[in-house]
C-alpha cells in the first residue's frame, strides 16, 4: 500500500514514500513531463501498459488524495504536478526492500550483492569508489 510516513527513531526525519507498481509507472511519466494531463500520462504509457484513460485518471486522482500529486486547473484542463521527489520515492523503495529482505540492515544487503549479485568488475569498482568516498566524508 502506498503511503507517506516519517522515518523511525534514530533516523533523520525524512518522509518515506511507498508507491505501488502502478503509481511508480505514473510517477516516472509525471517527473519527466510535468505539469501534464492524465491523457498525456496514458499516452506515454500506451506502449508498455494497456491501461484505459479512466484507469490512469482514477489512479492519478487517488495519488492526489495520498499527497503524491497535486492538480492545477486551467479552465477545464487538469494538470498534475509531483509533490514528491524521485529521490524520496527511491529512498522509500530501498527502505521497504531493506526491511523486508534484510531486517533493515544495509551491511548484509551489500554483502549479499557482493557475494550473490553477480557484480561485473566495473560495478565492483564503482562500489569500491562509493565506499571510499563515504569513508572520506565520514571523517
**Has residue 22 been placed in a domain?**
yes
Res 110: pLDDT = 84
24 plus 69 within the same structural domain: yes
60/63 Cα distance (integer angstroms): 5
- More reliable by pLDDT, 110 or 9: 110
Res 98: pLDDT = 93
**Has residue 78 been placed in a domain?**
yes
The boundaries of the domain holding residue 30 are 3-82
77 plus 113 within the same structural domain: no
Using alpha carbons only, give the angle 62, 91, 10 rounded to the nearest 5 degrees: 115
**Has residue 98 been placed in a domain?**
no
Over residues 78-101, the pLDDT tens digits come to 999 999 999 999 998 999 999 999
**Has residue 35 been placed in a domain?**
yes
112 plus 78 within the same structural domain: no
Lowest mean pLDDT among 48-52, 87-91, 115-119, 122-126: 115-119
Q: Tell me what the mean pLDDT of segment 50-56 comes to.
A: 95
78 plus 119 within the same structural domain: no
12 plus 78 within the same structural domain: yes
**Has residue 90 been placed in a domain?**
no
pLDDT range class, residue 120, cuts 50, 70, 90 = confident
CA proximity to 59, closest of 9, 16, 2? 2
Over residues 7-36, the pLDDT tens digits come to 444 444 455 788 999 999 999 999 999 999
35 plus 72 within the same structural domain: yes
25 plus 74 within the same structural domain: yes
127 plus 74 within the same structural domain: no
CA proximity to 67, closest of 8, 15, 21? 15
Total tally of structural domains belonging to the chain: 2
**Has residue 72 been placed in a domain?**
yes
**Has residue 34 been placed in a domain?**
yes
Q: CATH number of the domain that 74 lies in?
A: 1.10.10.10
> Phi first, then psi: what are they for 43, rounded to 5°?
-65, -40
pTM of the model: 0.75
Res 7: pLDDT = 46
Amino acid at each position: 500500500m502506498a503511503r507517506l510516513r516519517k522515518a523511525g527513531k534514530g533516523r533523520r526525519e525524512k518522509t518515506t514514500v511507498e508507491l505501488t507498481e502502478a503509481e511508480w509507472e505514473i510517477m516516472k511519466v509525471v517527473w519527466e513531463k510535468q505539469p501534464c494531463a492524465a491523457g498525456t500520462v496514458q499516452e506515454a504509457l500506451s506502449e508498455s501498459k494497456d491501461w484505459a484513460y479512466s484507469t490512469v485518471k482514477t489512479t492519478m486522482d487517488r495519488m492526489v488524495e495520498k499527497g503524491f500529486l497535486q492538480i492545477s486547473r486551467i479552465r477545464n484542463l487538469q494538470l498534475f504536478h509531483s509533490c514528491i521527489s524521485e529521490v524520496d520515492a527511491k529512498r522509500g523503495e530501498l527502505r521497504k526492500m531493506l526491511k523486508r529482505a534484510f531486517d533493515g540492515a544495509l551491511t548484509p544487503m551489500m554483502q549479499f550483492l557482493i557475494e550473490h549479485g553477480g557484480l561485473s568488475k566495473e560495478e565492483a569498482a564503482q562500489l569500491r569508489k562509493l565506499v571510499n568516498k563515504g569513508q572520506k566524508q565520514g571523517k
